[in-house]
Structure 1
Amino acid sequence: MSIAQFSYSRIPPQAERLRADVRAFLKEAMADYPAVRRADSWMGFDAGFSRRLGAQRWVGMALPRSHGGGEASPFARYVVIEELLAAGAPVSAHWIADRQSGPLILRFGTERQKDRHLPPICRGEQYFCIGMSEPGSGSDLASIKTRARRDGSGWVLSGQKVWTTNAHKSHYMIALARTADQTASRHEGLSQFIVDLQAPGVTIRPIKDLTGSEHFNEVFFDDVRLGPDSLIGTEGQGWEQVTAELAFERSGPERFLSSMALLHTLVDAVGPQPDALQAKEIGRLVARLHALRNMSLAVTAQLASGGNPAWAASCVKDLGTGFEQELPEIAQLLTDLAPTTQGGTNHARVLAQLVQMAPSFSLRGGTREILRGIIARGLGLR
């Protein structure tokens, strides 16, 4: 089972040919982009940049042409995403809509939902956030307390979500809510809803992180009225839909490229004549990066064949965030440059940014404890 999950997969030549075009675009679009902003990686929010990517047809690439997409292969999308992240491009505005919400709507949504949401997603103009985690629940999604009850032909939503990335800048949320209490399993009775974040009863409160940035949010639903077309997929099948969605969230190159700006500045700071320790440690980092990339490509191959590689995706996410969090620690051992947020070199400022951001890497997208539980089940250990 484990061997099949991580079979070696090459990027097909047709997809690989996109790489030169993306690099040329980024060279022009990010010519004056400072290293410390590149350190934001896929958390950098720039609506204008997202619209430029949409004009290149590099948002919603795998969605059908009939809904504004490019019908590109998962590997073609992988090439574009890999180049964007390696360059530290500001992709946060459209990121969740492109990675998760669009594919989820395509797979489970009604034709009306597809017509309404997919074209503006592909243009880089409509942004989504994920309504899963809650206070006291975290990554244990089956324990959520947010409720959606039927009211006439529609629904009334009540509850709270937390750690909701970009909720304060998004147009919609796909929220997981409990729609039935008396179920044989706690994984039953869950449903997903498309929620207009401008609707009456929705309150959004940003949460500042250690860098002073506001990416995460608390979101409160006070009897928010949802229309009959707000339910996405089948009532009561939310758990199955969420697990399919999380495979997209946990397997991509963003799970090991969040710290790439720091690796770039570290190599520059060390220079062309590293000492033995510097050469060894940077070599080990690059080797780990190469292995993680191959694992991620193996998951991409499974997604391309219609699989649901939840176990393999959890491995990529767990190992990838470990790499991302260790990189700032290793970087501090290899040079005498201290991290600083004021003045200093590019490397010192990027190091300070990543030291402060790194603790969140193992929280977003599922904690290590939850991921390792999924991995243990995949190995037949629980």
Structure 2
Amino acid sequence: MSIEQFNYCEIPAAAEALRGQVREFLRENLADFPPLARADSWMGFDPEFSRKLAARGWVGMALPKQYGGADATPFERYVVIEELLAAGAPVSAHWFADRQSGPQILTYGSQQQRDFHLPAICRGERFFCIGMSEPGSGSDLASIKSRAVKQGDKWILNGQKVWTTNAHRAHYMIGLFRSSDSDSRHGGMSQFLIDLRLPGVTVRPIKDLTGSEHFNEVFFDNVELTADDIIGAEGQGWHQVTAELAVERSGPERFLSSMALLKTLIDVVGAAPDKLQAKEIGRLTARLVTLRQMSLAVTQQLQEGQNPAWAASCVKDLGSVFEQEIPELAQLLTDIAPTAQGGCDHALVLAHLMQQAPSFSLRGGTREILRGIIAKGLGLR
């Protein structure tokens, strides 16, 4: 692996042309959306907003037109989601279906699975969650223990997933299970499409420090699936999920989660910052520009059909550090104390993100796992 994976690249003009349309849409639909709500970033859940986006062709836009998509390029999708995230739009309802599940079904799913799921995703009507992490496994997916056992023409699922975002609101999960024994830690795994309404599925939300419920535990107790519910080839789950993670770890959501706070910080500092404020806000801005360019470089590799797992891990790791430092610096740069109620917009957003920020280095892979991938890519392990 090489630092040259982050060569400078520009967004093509055809993709950039979408930016004005998205901004106008956001002005019309989020005019009264308060800063505290924008602080939820891509965790804000609003099915009606998702359906409005879908009506504009901006959900599942990278999927083929025959399923309701737009055959959009990765850069066209990048422009749309960058604007949505920078504005703090509530995109969580459709997020995983748009970013991962739809493309995963398109690439590895059967024609029956594509015909059933993809049009509903593009209409903003079907929501997905991702079942990867387990208790005791964390981001080390090779150590998962949940099992899928084949019995005749059925698969029987048993086990548990944890930190599953939106499982309590999603219609379906794409879950990774051990489907056979293997001498390799990475072998014997398969992905399954799971209707979360099936008997034997139990979803338990996990409250975070703000009292919000985004993460979940999901239990499987003799859940019956049909032979048609496996995605891709049996035993190829590791290959499929690592390709999926390159997309999950490299987008602008990996460094824009604290944008609402950066905006309120700039507002309260105003046009005449002191030397420390000017220095630190300038430093944050420079890092933001750099992370954006790294993310665009990964997007270029994805458009070329590559699997940039190493580069994506770099974006995720550095992006999480950036997102978590913003609440710390915001406390240093002003005398405004965080408050959960009754304060100004900046105080409310600061309190919210101080409590949310610890989770930023959990979702999408812990820092330890990501740095292991980076070290391996650099030939250090």
User: What is the deviation of 1:171?
Assistant: 0.2
Deviations 1:162-196 (A, max 9, x none): 00000000000000000112x12110000000000
Aligned match of 2:159: 159
What is the one-letter code of the residue matched to 2:36? V
What is the one-letter code of the residue matched to 2:3? I
The answer on 1:145 being equivalent to 2:145 is yes
What is the one-letter code of the residue matched to 2:279? K
TM-score, normalising length from structure 2? 0.99
Deviations 1:227-276 (A, max 9, x none): 11100001000000000000110000000000000000000010110000
The answer on 1:372 being equivalent to 2:371 is yes
Matches within 5 A, 1:8-47: 8-47=8-47
Matches within 5 A, 1:244-255: 244-255=243-254
Distance 1:6 1:117 in 2: 35
Matches within 5 A, 1:110-129: 110-129=110-129
What is the one-letter code of the residue matched to 2:140? D
The answer on 1:274 being equivalent to 2:294 is no
Matches within 5 A, 1:32-181: 32-181=32-181
User: What is the deviation of 1:314?
Assistant: 0.1
Distance 2:287 2:86 in 1: 15
1:359 counterpart SS class: helix
Distance 1:340 1:3 in 2: 42
Aligned match of 1:185: 184
Aligned match of 1:331: 330
What is the one-letter code of the residue matched to 2:370? L
User: What is the deviation of 1:347?
Assistant: 0.3
Distance 2:143 2:262 in 1: 38
The answer on 1:297 being equivalent to 2:273 is no
Instruction: Note the residue ranges of structure 2 that are not aligned, 5 or more in a row.
Output: none
Distance 2:4 2:192 in 1: 34
Deviations 1:310-331 (A, max 9, x none): 0000000000000000000000
User: What is the deviation of 1:289?
Assistant: 0.1
Deviations 1:86-136 (A, max 9, x none): 000000000000000011111100000000101111111100000000000
Deviations 1:24-83 (A, max 9, x none): 000010000000000000000000000000000001111100111100110000000000
Matches within 5 A, 1:180-329: 180-181=180-181, 183-329=182-328
Distance 2:29 2:246 in 1: 31
Distance 1:223 1:9 in 2: 49
Distance 2:219 2:228 in 1: 21
1:195 counterpart SS class: strand
User: What is the deviation of 1:369?
Assistant: 0.4
User: What is the deviation of 1:9?
Assistant: 1.0
Distance 1:31 1:169 in 2: 26
Distance 1:154 1:8 in 2: 49
User: What is the deviation of 1:3?
Assistant: 3.0
What is the one-letter code of the residue matched to 1:251? S
What is the one-letter code of the residue matched to 1:163? W
TM-score, normalising length from structure 1? 0.99
1:168 counterpart SS class: coil
What is the one-letter code of the residue matched to 1:147? R
2:380 counterpart SS class: coil
- The percent identity for this pair of structures is 73
